[in-house]
Structure 1
């Protein structure tokens, strides 16, 4: 069973996304902020990370940079989640080396397809 770390500070989005992922057969670990997400990523070495951008303690870009700086977490596929529709944010995230970028709200199939592509 593949493990996904979800880093999301919004309770409703986090709970709904966890439920969707678990129903799809993934083991889910979650963090309420970026700082905790970095710690959990190092401890559990998940198969994939889904991460919000606007969060307390460390934003999504800071989380991604922290993961890239550590050899143990550098290769973990990483997908940004955000409510922003700014194309420059999408480009910035992808230029940093993220596997994908999903705009909230998203359809379950959009999420699952991004995960499948990132785990190939």
Structure 2
């Protein structure tokens, strides 16, 4: 079972995605901000992280930068999900090492498509 960490400061959004991903068979963990997200990443070592950009304490860019500096968490795939939709934001996310960037509002279906695309590419690499 693939383990996914959702780092999102808006509780309703976080809970909606956790519930949907759990129903799809993923082991899903939630974190209410970037600092908690880093702690949970180090504790659970998820297979994929989905993270908001704009959050209190640590923003998503700071989370990704911190995780990429730690050998235990550096290779964990990372998808940003943000209301910041301009090209400069997307470019910054990719420069920092994000694997994808989804804009909000993001439907459950759109998120599931991004996750499926990601896990399918990993499966193809293993063949």
Asked if these proteins are the same fold (TM beyond 0.5), I'd say: yes
CA displacement at 1:11 relative to structure 2: 1.0
Aligned partner of 1:39 in structure 2 is: 39
Q: 2:32 and 2:94 mapped to 1: Cα distance?
A: 23
3-state SS in 1 of match to 2:41:
helix
3-state SS in 2 of match to 1:40:
helix
Q: TM-score, normalised by structure 1?
A: 0.95
Aligned partner of 1:116 in structure 2 is: 116
Q: How many residues get paired?
A: 120
CA displacement at 1:16 relative to structure 2: 0.7
Q: Does 1:71 align with 2:71?
A: yes
Q: CA RMSD in A?
A: 0.9
Tell me which stretches of 4 or more aligned residues in structure 1 moved more than 6 Å. none
CA displacement at 1:24 relative to structure 2: 1.0
Q: 1:38 and 1:16 mapped to 2: Cα distance?
A: 21
CA displacement at 1:12 relative to structure 2: 1.1
Aligned partner of 2:56 in structure 1 is: 56
Q: 1:87 and 1:98 mapped to 2: Cα distance?
A: 14
Q: TM-score, normalised by structure 2?
A: 0.90
Unaligned 5+ runs, structure 1:
none
